[in-house]
Each structure stands twice: as structure tokens, then as C-alpha cells.
Amino acid sequence: MTVLTGAGKGERALKKLVQGFILGLIIVLPGMSGGTVFIILGIYEDLVQDIAAFKLKPYWPMLIGTVGGIFLGGTAFALFLSSHRDLTVAFLMGFLLASIKAVLLHRPALTVGRTGILLLGFLAGFLMSGEPVGILEPGEVVNPVLLALGGAISSAAMFIPGVPGSSILIVMGIYDNILFYVKDITLFPLALFGAGALVGVFLLARVMEIIYFRYRAPVSYFFAGLIAGSARVLWPADWDISTVLLFAVGFYLVWRWGGGEVEKSKEV
């Protein structure tokens, strides 16, 4: 009986490890929502409740898997950005723009007020987004406060289904910096980002969840505009058949499989 119990625990740990690895690979991509992945894996409600109650022990294998997935995915995209910048950003822009479908899934139709919120989000995303992704100056250093803040907000956003955490990093202009920090294993900035992420998970996630579920429609339209406006930093320098094709592939993958919430509760 003890052997069976141990085997069962091992299987559950392995399952969470694999789930975490998949999550890590996906959240590296702009337009892919961690919250949507949690729903697809069937663990969203339990995860949110357990984190709120600081019941963390069952999720250590998932955390380890997530770190592994982020490292592998981040390293791969950093290498692609270095050698094939236009092709990579075209692919990522397809991911990003298609995610608007998931953000607005099951939302009420546009009204004058919601159109205004959408345009406000677009303007904020357009003005806030920084230098084009993949074009970094040698030795470029990110403000430590911005790193910690990016970790906090992007990790908190991960608990809102349909809202991509990586898109927040694009709006803040530090997405590619984080990728290169991961590839080069630059510990100090990664530690700052990770510390911010912990704050986001344990403090901000609950606050964002309350705001989101109370004002779901306006928040969703604002995020949709924010994502659309920030896409300018992923614009390729040159468009050709290859960049158009990769944009279309990225767009299709998220549009078809990006998901969104499975519930259709009453909107505000």
C-alpha cells in the first residue's frame, strides 16, 4: 500500500512537472495567456484558491517545470531574435494580435463607452511601448525598478484568463531584455524580475482578479487596445513572403488554439 501511495505521488509530481514545462514554454510567447493554460489543464480554480491560502507544497514540481520551460523557450527566441529578427518578430506579432480574440471572448458588444476604453488602451499601448523588440544596444541595462515592476505585473496578469503576461513586458519595453537575460543566465536582473514576480503572484494577483471580475468588460476592452497599440514594437523592418507567412502562422495558432474563458458569466 505504501509503495502504491509513493508511486501515485510520483506520478502526480511528474504530471505537474510536465504541466509546468508546457506553461513555461507558452508564457514566453506574446499573446499566450497563462490563465488560459491553467483552464485548459483544468487547474485554474484550485491553483488560485491554493495560492490565496499559501498552500504551495503541491506546486513545487510545477514551478520547477515552469522555470525549465521558460529557460528553453526564452533561449530559443533570444537566439532567433539575434539571427533572424524580422522573421521572429513577425511570428510573435501574429501571436500578439490574435490574442485579442481571447481577451474579448464572451464580452458584450462594443458601445460608445467601450469603444472609448478600447481606443484609450490602444493609445496607452502605442505611447508606452518602447524600442522595437530585438534591437538592443550593447551592454544595455534595464532600470531595476522596471524589472521588478515588470515581474510583478506580468505574473499577476497571468492569473487572468485571456490576458498574456508577456504582452505586458512588450508594453513596458523589456520583453527582449528578459529573453536575453534568460539566454545568458544573467542572475542579478533575473533575480529582481523573479522577486517582482513573487510579489505579483502573492499580492497583486488577488487584487487584479477582484478588479477583473468586477469590471470584466471595460478591463478586457482596455487590455485589447493595449495589446493592439503595443504591437508596433514587433513591426518587421522589411516585409517579404517569409515574414508574411510567419505572421500568418503565428496569428492562426493563437486564433485557433489560444482559447479564452470557458465560462460565460454575467458581464459588467
Q: Give the Å distances, CA to CA, from 197 to 59, 86, 163, 191.
A: 16, 29, 16, 10
Provide the residue range defining the domain that includes 188.
Answer: 2-257
* Domain count for the chain: 1
79 assigned to some structural domain: yes
Residue range 44-98, pLDDT digits in tens: 777 777 877 778 888 888 889 988 998 998 898 888 888 888 998 898 888 888 8
DSSP string, 233-255: GG--SS--HHHHHHHHHHHHHHH
211 in a structural domain: yes
| Of 34, 107, 96, 46, the residue nearest 263 (C-alpha) | 107
Question: In tens digits, what is the pLDDT along the chain, a chain of 268 residues?
Answer: 444 455 567 788 888 888 888 888 878 877 667 776 776 677 777 777 787 777 888 888 888 998 899 899 889 888 888 888 899 889 888 888 887 887 787 788 888 989 999 999 899 888 876 667 666 555 567 789 999 999 988 888 777 766 777 878 887 888 888 888 888 888 899 999 999 988 888 776 667 667 777 788 888 898 888 888 888 888 888 899 999 999 999 898 878 765 544 444 444 4
Tell me if 264 is assigned to some domain.
no
* 266 occurs within a structural domain: no
Query: Is 133 part of any domain?
Result: yes
Q: Does residue 267 lie in a domain region?
A: no
Residue 185: inside a domain: yes
Residue 265 included in any domain: no
